[in-house]
Amino acid sequence: MDNILQRLQQKFWPLLSVLAGALTTLAFAPFDLSWLVFVTMALAFYLWNRLPAKQAAVSGWLFGLGLQCSGVSWIYFSLHVHGSAPAVFAILLIFLLCCYLSIYTALAVYTVNRFLPDSTVLRFIVFYPAAWVVFEWLQGYVMTGFAWMQTGYTQIDQPLSGFAPLLGNHAVGGLVALTAGIILLLLKPSPPKQRIVLLLSVAVLWLAGGLLKNVSWTQAQGSPISVSIIQGNIAQKDKWKYAMKQPTKALYRDMSLAQKDVDLIVWPETAVPDYRYRVQPYLQQLRTEMAARNTDLLLGIFVKNREGRVLNSVMTIDGSVYNKRHLVPLGEYIPLRFLIEFFNRFVKIPMSDIISGDDDQPLLQVAGVKVGISICFEEAFARDVIRDLPEAGLLVNVSNDAWFEDSIEPHQHHAIARMRALEAGRYMIRATNTGITSFIGPHGEVISRLPQFETGVLKAQVQPLAGATPFVRWGDGLIVGLCALILLGFAYRGRRSSDG
């Protein structure tokens, strides 16, 4: 077996690297072949361990390229279908983005193979997993970050996700890498005692994760509230048409007024297809009608500030506003301002030049409960969600995944939302335009959801929670710092040994 792999590796390592990365996407939602990530990562580790540092880095880059190109191909819909970009330009832009994102995998592999001791055992169970955590985290930070195809999300329904409230999603990804490394070592000829230790290690790891999934890190605060989520199901091609503005506003208003005995109604991101200052009579009428029912309302809308700049916002019916802080590069803003004219020649995305809200914003309060709000892309960043904790008793995410049609993106996005609820130990109310609209529990479980691409209402009793998970208190700093110290420590030790 090892001889066959060696021959394949020597001739076809570039192809195997890309293939392993591409197949890893099948471990994510909606395919949910969670076990596959261990196979593909084990294959990647095998290749990287056998290649010199520079070739290994190229292999890591190709693995990342396969993962990113297959995993975020849905960006094509927003650029070409809804942004009117020529197909060739859209594909080129996505490819360049994926090329950039893959650099982090390449850097992780190069760091291990170039600067750390040449030990197969240490590479598989320490160095590659630790480097994976550090550089995956960096990918979500540099230039505002693009934190999407993170391997921890593949385990949301598996025992390893039990570590998420303790150390976060990056740690889960690191444990995925550790498990893949152990599998590789078990496939190699080794002394019986070593095999027993490895088997016991992976068994304890997974058992501990399974037990942690049953731990409740937070506790009930006050009484449950009754919540209705409105899914308007407005197609993206119609959303910003002038003729659709009044029918859309009427749809959301009528569906909301049909709700009886609810404490809170939640509308999706930009449910009102207009600026707040232009729909004041509509909002005042809603305010009067909601007050008569003793019901609070959260709605998505665009707001203009005093300078005339646009913000993507969520507001309460009494006028309190949360402005989106973490914007989508190339979707809501252009990272390099001098390129905006060039970009706009090819892509015409509505509201693609907005500004971010202040980092420090007071929490909105609805139905007597403080809520942590995230808008669409923001929930891909754990740091953006937990910044509102432990003060927030509930999490609310509003989104509009109609941009991506019937692709894999809404399913990936929903899995990310589940991970955020699990890390935070909070119920999450998730309101989307075309799906996936759902109520998610504090263990990341889906309580109920609406079918995609249907107009409907989802109603549930939601319990506000108090307290903080360890991850809320520590954030990513603990696991990322620990992994970085391990890498630096071994690198320093290796340098001292070589100097000596």
Catalytic residue IDs? 269, 324, 376
Q: Name residues whose C-beta falls within 8 Å of residue 144's C-beta, 6 or more positions apart in sequence.
A: 326, 327, 329, 335
Q: How far apart are alpha carbons 201 and 122 in whole angstroms?
A: 15
Q: How far apart are alpha carbons 469 and 319 in whole angstroms?
A: 31
Q: Give the angle subtended at the CA of 172 by the CAs of 478 and 174, to the nearest 5°.
A: 75
For 100-136, the DSSP string reads: HHHHHHHHHHHHHHHHS---HHHIIIIIHHHHHHHHH
**E strand spans, 245-392:** 264-266, 296-304, 310-316, 321-323, 364-366, 369-375
Exposure of 98 in the CB half-sphere (CA atoms within 13 A): 25
Please count the other Cβ atoms lying within 10 Å of the Cβ belonging to residue 309. 11
For 240-263, the DSSP string reads: T-HHHHHHHHHHHHHHHHT--S-S
Q: Name residues whose C-beta falls within 8 Å of residue 112's C-beta, 6 or more positions apart in sequence.
A: 48, 56, 123, 127, 128, 131, 487
Residue for token digits 């076990």? 35
Token readout for 392 is 């927030």
What is the SS3 assignment for 82?
A: coil
Q: Give the angle subtended at the CA of 460 by the CAs of 456 and 461, to the nearest 5°.
A: 160
- 88 phi and psi, to 5 degrees? -65, -45
* Burial of residue 11, with CB atoms counted within 10 A of its CB: 0-12 exposed, 13-18 middle, 19 or more buried: exposed
